[in-house]
């Protein structure tokens, strides 16, 4: 058995996958009544607010069942998209970067998140104009980060983030997703799930940056499910995408399926609804 294989097996016994860190907390924010006024590029109809609240609550319970203590922020109706807290910060075990969101309507969302994160991490770094970064474009893969350049994250922002991550001791690669698969963010089409594995949609599967990884291919028709979230020894997956769930279970991941229909209508996935650290 290779050293890496041995380490992976030991980590699995401890409930950990290779390269993953133990997460203990998550910031979440309930959707506000005007949630349906947020940005969206998908044409799936208006979200049902009461159903979104129930789906959000089930999501929060799932995070708790993964061992996370929740920091619950009140809904903020100044920002209809503010339930998608992931976009506001990049939180690593070596430092935090407060983003500068790419959609003008979301610009003020970072303030309360900054106030919260300052309680947990002393110094916070920031992305500065003209740079923009949405957290949904940033995929941590152990000590390496993939940073998407998208309609939301520009080159200036991606460059600033790469330099900050380097100062924390992490490497990164930039991936231009404009024109790849019509996805909003990089993580709309991929996820790192520990053990040198990536879940990827077809449009991202031939990128040279991903060639060192074992790729879990998402079946066509299940693209939305690529945004799954690995937390400690469990995996959150969107309900209604049985092929990916089965693939993950075959790899011994313990999958928790969550209804996400109302967030999907607003271009949001599982990862977007929390900041995990
Ligand atoms: C937006 O367009 O900004 C929100 N409606 C959805 C953000 C989803 N966030 C994410 O994928 N990280």
Placement of tokens 């060192």 in the chain: 212
Is the confidence at residue 117, as pLDDT, over 70?
yes
CA–CA gap between residue 9 and residue 4 (Å, rounded): 9
CA–CA gap between residue 184 and residue 148 (Å, rounded): 10
Query: What integer pLDDT is reported at residue 1 of this predicted model?
Result: 33
> Do β-strands 138-141 and 229-231 pair in parallel, antiparallel, or remain unpaired?
unpaired
Is the confidence at residue 253, as pLDDT, over 60?
yes
Query: What integer pLDDT is reported at residue 168 of this predicted model?
Result: 97
1 CA distance to ligand 1 middle (Å)? 42
CA–CA gap between residue 21 and residue 9 (Å, rounded): 15
| Nearest partner of 194 among 174, 179, 216, judged by Cα | 216
Is the confidence at residue 63, as pLDDT, over 90?
yes
Strand 171-176's sheet: what is its strand order? 138-141, 144-149, 171-176
**Rounded mean pLDDT of the chain?**
94
Residues listed for the chain = 277
Query: pLDDT of 35-56, one tens digit each?
Result: 999 999 999 999 999 999 999 9
Active site positions, annotated: 185, 272
Query: What integer pLDDT is reported at residue 4 of this predicted model?
Result: 42
The residues pairing with 174 across neighbouring beta strands, listed in sequence order, are 147
Is the minimum distance from the CB of 81 to ligand 1 under 6 angstroms?
yes
Q: What mean pLDDT comes out for the span 196-219?
A: 97
Work out the pLDDT band at 194, boundaries 50, 70, 90. Answer: very high
Work out the pLDDT band at 254, boundaries 50, 70, 90. Answer: very high
Query: pLDDT of 126-154, one tens digit each?
Result: 999 999 999 999 999 999 999 999 999 99
234 CA distance to ligand 1 middle (Å)? 23
Q: What's the distance, CA 170 to chain centroid?
A: 18
Is the confidence at residue 17, as pLDDT, over 80?
no
Query: What integer pLDDT is reported at residue 12 of this predicted model?
Result: 47
Query: What integer pLDDT is reported at residue 122 of this predicted model?
Result: 87
DSSP 115: H
Does residue 60 contact residue 70 with C-beta atoms inside 8 Å? yes
> Do β-strands 89-92 and 69-73 pair in parallel, antiparallel, or remain unpaired?
unpaired
Q: Which domains does the chain have, with CATH numbers?
A: 15-276 (3.75.10.10)
Is the minimum distance from the CB of 268 to ligand 1 under 6 angstroms?
yes
Query: What integer pLDDT is reported at residue 233 of this predicted model?
Result: 86
Work out the pLDDT band at 25, boundaries 50, 70, 90. Answer: very high
User: Hey, which of 34, 268, 271, 275 would you mutate to test ligand 1's pocket, going by the most ligand atoms within 8 Å of its Cβ?
Assistant: 268
% of the chain beyond a pLDDT of 90:
90
115 CA distance to ligand 1 middle (Å)? 21
CA–CA gap between residue 19 and residue 258 (Å, rounded): 25
CA–CA gap between residue 34 and residue 86 (Å, rounded): 19
CA–CA gap between residue 192 and residue 137 (Å, rounded): 13
* Tokens describing residue 74: 């009140």
Q: Is 123 exposed, middle or buried (0-12, 13-18, 19+ CB in 10 A)?
A: exposed
Is the minimum distance from the CB of 103 to ligand 1 under 6 angstroms?
yes
Is the confidence at residue 2, as pLDDT, over 90?
no
* Tokens describing residue 86: 């992931």
The residues pairing with 217 across neighbouring beta strands, listed in sequence order, are 200
Among protein residues, the one with the nearest Cα to ligand 1's atom 3 is 39
Is the minimum distance from the CB of 229 to ligand 1 under 6 angstroms?
no
267 CA distance to ligand 1 middle (Å)? 6
Is the minimum distance from the CB of 189 to ligand 1 under 6 angstroms?
no
The residue among 185 and 12 whose pLDDT is bigger is: 185
Among protein residues, the one with the nearest Cα to ligand 1's atom 1 is 39
Work out the pLDDT band at 16, boundaries 50, 70, 90. Answer: low
Helix or strand run (H / E) with residue 104: none
Is the confidence at residue 13, as pLDDT, over 90?
no
Does residue 237 contact residue 253 with C-beta atoms inside 8 Å? no
The pTM (predicted TM-score) of the whole model is 0.94
Q: How far is CA 159 from CA 124, 136, 140, 173, in A?
A: 17, 16, 16, 10
Strand 254-258's sheet: what is its strand order? 229-231, 234-238, 254-258
How many other C-beta atoms lie within 10 A of the C-beta of residue 239? Answer: 15
């Amino acid at each position: 058995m290779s050293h890496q294989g041995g380490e992976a097996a030991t980590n699995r016994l401890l409930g950990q996958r290779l390269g993953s860190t133990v997460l203990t907390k998550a910031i979440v924010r309930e959707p506000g009544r005007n949630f349906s006024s947020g940005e969206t590029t998908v044409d799936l109809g208006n979200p049902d607010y009461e159903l979104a609240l129930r789906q959000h609550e089930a999501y929060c319970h799932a995070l708790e069942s993964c061992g996370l203590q929740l920091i619950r922020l009140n809904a903020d109706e100044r920002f209809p998209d503010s339930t998608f807290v992931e976009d506001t910060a990049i939180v690593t075990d070596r430092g935090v970067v407060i983003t500068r969101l790419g959609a003008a309507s979301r610009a003020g969302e970072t303030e309360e998140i900054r106030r919260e994160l300052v309680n947990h991490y002393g110094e916070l770094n920031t992305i500065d104009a003209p740079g923009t970064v949405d957290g949904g474009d940033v995929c941590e893969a152990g000590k390496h980060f993939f940073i998407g350049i998208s309609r939301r994250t520009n080159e200036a922002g991606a460059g600033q983030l790469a330099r900050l991550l380097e100062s924390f001791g992490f490497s990164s690669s930039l991936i231009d997703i404009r024109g790849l698969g019509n996805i909003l963010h990089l993580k709309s089409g991929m996820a790192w799930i520990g053990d040198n594995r990536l879940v990827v949609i077809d449009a991202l599967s031939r990128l040279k940056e991903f060639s060192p990884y074992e790729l879990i291919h998402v079946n066509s028709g299940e693209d939305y499910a690529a945004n799954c979230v690995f937390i400690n020894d469990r995996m959150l997956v969107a309900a209604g995408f049985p092929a990916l769930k089965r693939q993950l279970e075959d790899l011994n991941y313990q999958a928790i399926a969550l209804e996400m229909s109302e967030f999907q209508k607003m271009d949001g996935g599982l990862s977007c609804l929390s900041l995990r650290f």
